[in-house]
Amino acid sequence: MSDRYLSFVNSAWGRRLAQAIGLPQPLPLQRHRSGQAGLANPVIVAGAGRLVAPVQRLFSATDTVSATPATVKAPSTLKVQGAVFDASGMTDLPQLDALYEFFHANARRLAQHARVVVLGTAPEHCAGLPQAIVQRALEGLVRSLAKELRRAITVQLIYVAPGAEDALDSSLRFFLSRRSAYVSGQVVRLEPPVDGAVAVNWDKPFAGRRALVTGASRGIGLAIAQVLARDGAHVVCVDVPQAEASLQQAAASVGGSALPLDITAVDAAAQLQAHVSQHGAFDVVVHNAGITRDKTIAKMSETAWRSVLAVNLEAPLHLSTALLDSHGLNPGGRIVCVSSISGIAGNLGQSNYATSKAGVIGLVQGLAARAAARQVTVNAVAPGFIETQMTAHIPLMIREAGRRMNSLSQGGQPIDVAETIAWLAHPASGAVNGQVVRVCGQSLLGA
């Protein structure tokens, strides 16, 4: 759970030693705290497209530095906390040069921990071939910048479909704030929102809303419950009956309620529906519960295969469809699943886990349209190396490799996963549906 190298290398002696012998020098990430202003400030807003106006609406006039031709090509030395480049209007290849000009001139102007967002139009929504090529090319630029800017700077690409222009706020507030400290090199697609506009309380977005979190008694699940509760939700904490003591404690600590439940039980959906009948439908359902049973497939027992599939994949499928079909989720509801970089890239000794977590991606993508018809979204996070009790038990050298092999050269914290889930679960995130967003510091494992 504690990354001693990160502390060491940020001490006076450690810094000097690391510089001398060329060791990685990760900066401790700055994370969001209650009461802080959320948005990076000031930010440069550049580019020319249909998204400049909605971006500028988000900031007060004093928060932005517009990128006049002068600041594009000959920047001032004033450091900025972030940059937003609207590339959505680019339709032909030579226009890509504007991105070079902007980042060439401004890369050094970005402060430590700066947030960079490039906005585009997804290739599948482009009219012409050159436009589709230009928009797809943005991925290569963004992923390269995320690798080379260093200094805890993050870079993302958000593709905004026509009709989603006014549904940008929750995503920009996430990616331009400290809430997304461990998310980098990601590509997210926004579509016209599945639900209507809502009046949003940006400090307590979940006020008056009910959230269900499975596996909530410890680790990442507890962090999710804490963040949703911090932001106003009443959280129903679920864990297996054997964990009831710590579950009760967790629920009490977030002012929520405890629901001991084996999510793989044949009557699990019925138990949830009974809970809904008594207490009301949910606004947010987070399928966080998951297990690992690692072995190479030749040595893996059938039980190890079966149990991982049952907990990680079958339960989220059955509970999601049961809740959707029985109106257990309110309109404006959000389902968030937890996948994994193993589900994206595969992993040695995790054929069961990777199969289940790849299946979760199939679940999210396959259920999105059906959920949208009920004004519900369904998305997934895919964590990379997160500092938990689980990863603390990994042998030292493998743990160190897992920790450092990402663009931020450190592991994430459970709260990084929780903040990302809170963004996907946000009442104003109706434009985000069927997406898989990695929380991995741009891990080398998978693009």
DSSP letters, 302-358, are HHHHHHHHIIIIIHHHHHHHHHHHTT-EEEEEEEEEE--HHHHH--TTBHHHHHHHH
* Dihedral angle sign, alpha carbons of residues 116, 120, 123, 128: negative
> Helix axis angle, 97-106 relative to 129-148, nearest 10°?
20
Question: What's the closest the beta carbon of residue 252 comes to a copy of itself, in angstroms?
Answer: 35
Task: For a copy of itself, give the closer residue by CB, 192 or 349.
Answer: 349
Question: What's the closest the beta carbon of residue 317 comes to a copy of itself, in angstroms?
Answer: 6
> Does 98 engage in binding with a copy of itself (CB under 8 A)?
no
Q: Does 5 qualify as catalytic in the annotation?
A: no
Task: For a copy of itself, give the closer residue by CB, 310 or 390.
Answer: 310
> Does 290 engage in binding with a copy of itself (CB under 8 A)?
no
227, HSE (Cβ side, Cα atoms, 13 Å): 27
Task: For a copy of itself, give the closer residue by CB, 23 or 345.
Answer: 345
Task: For a copy of itself, give the closer residue by CB, 31 or 295.
Answer: 295
Task: For a copy of itself, give the closer residue by CB, 18 or 146.
Answer: 146
3-state secondary structure of 182: coil
Of 268, 363, 365, 355, nearest in space to 309 by CA: 355
> Does 363 engage in binding with a copy of itself (CB under 8 A)?
yes
Question: What's the closest the beta carbon of residue 179 comes to a copy of itself, in angstroms?
Answer: 23
Single-letter code of the amino acid located at 386: I
How many Cβ atoms sit within 10 Å of the Cβ of residue 207?
Answer: 12
What character string, x for contact with a copy of itself (CB under 8 A) and - otherwise, covers 50-89?
----------------------------------------
Q: Which of 107, 161, 200, 390 binds a copy of itself (CB under 8 A)?
A: 107
Q: How far apart are CA 135 and CA 155, in angstroms?
A: 16
Task: For a copy of itself, give the closer residue by CB, 281 or 309.
Answer: 309
Write out the two tokens for 149.
């800017």
State the pairing for strand pair 282-287/210-214.
parallel
Question: What's the closest the beta carbon of residue 447 comes to a copy of itself, in angstroms?
Answer: 4
Site for a copy of itself in 210-239 (CB under 8 A): none
Asked whether the beta carbons of 53 and 43 are under 8 A apart, the reply is no
What character string, x for contact with a copy of itself (CB under 8 A) and - otherwise, covers 17-36?
--------------------
Asked whether the beta carbons of 257 and 233 are under 8 A apart, the reply is no
Q: Which of 24, 28, 123, 232 binds a copy of itself (CB under 8 A)?
A: 123
Single-letter code of the amino acid located at 48: A
Asked whether the beta carbons of 435 and 399 are under 8 A apart, the reply is no
Question: What's the closest the beta carbon of residue 404 comes to a copy of itself, in angstroms?
Answer: 12
Asked whether the beta carbons of 73 and 105 are under 8 A apart, the reply is yes
Q: Which of 44, 160, 222, 344 binds a copy of itself (CB under 8 A)?
A: 344
> Does 111 engage in binding with a copy of itself (CB under 8 A)?
no
Q: How far apart are CA 80 and CA 108, in angstroms?
A: 10
Q: How far apart are CA 182 and CA 12, in angstroms?
A: 24
> Does 186 engage in binding with a copy of itself (CB under 8 A)?
no
Of 225, 230, 157, 164, nearest in space to 191 by CA: 164
Task: For a copy of itself, give the closer residue by CB, 245 or 297.
Answer: 297
> Does 357 engage in binding with a copy of itself (CB under 8 A)?
yes
Q: Which of 136, 230, 293, 399 binds a copy of itself (CB under 8 A)?
A: 136
What character string, x for contact with a copy of itself (CB under 8 A) and - otherwise, covers 292-331?
----xxx-x-x--xx--x---xx--x---x----------
Question: CA separation (Å) from 386 to 6, 66, 244?
Answer: 14, 37, 25
Q: Which of 44, 55, 83, 134 binds a copy of itself (CB under 8 A)?
A: 134
Catalytic-labelled residue, pool 5, 159, 182, 353: 353
> Does 359 engage in binding with a copy of itself (CB under 8 A)?
yes
Question: What's the closest the beta carbon of residue 217 comes to a copy of itself, in angstroms?
Answer: 26
Site for a copy of itself in 147-176 (CB under 8 A): 147-148
Task: For a copy of itself, give the closer residue by CB, 256 or 316.
Answer: 316
Q: How far apart are CA 301 and CA 305, in angstroms?
A: 7
Say which residues have a Cβ less than 8 Å from residue 226's Cβ, sequence separation at least 6. 253, 254, 415, 418
Site for a copy of itself in 369-428 (CB under 8 A): 370, 405
> Does 129 engage in binding with a copy of itself (CB under 8 A)?
yes
Q: Which of 17, 70, 93, 252 binds a copy of itself (CB under 8 A)?
A: 93
> Does 366 engage in binding with a copy of itself (CB under 8 A)?
yes
Q: How far apart are CA 353 and CA 370, in angstroms?
A: 26
Active site residues: 353
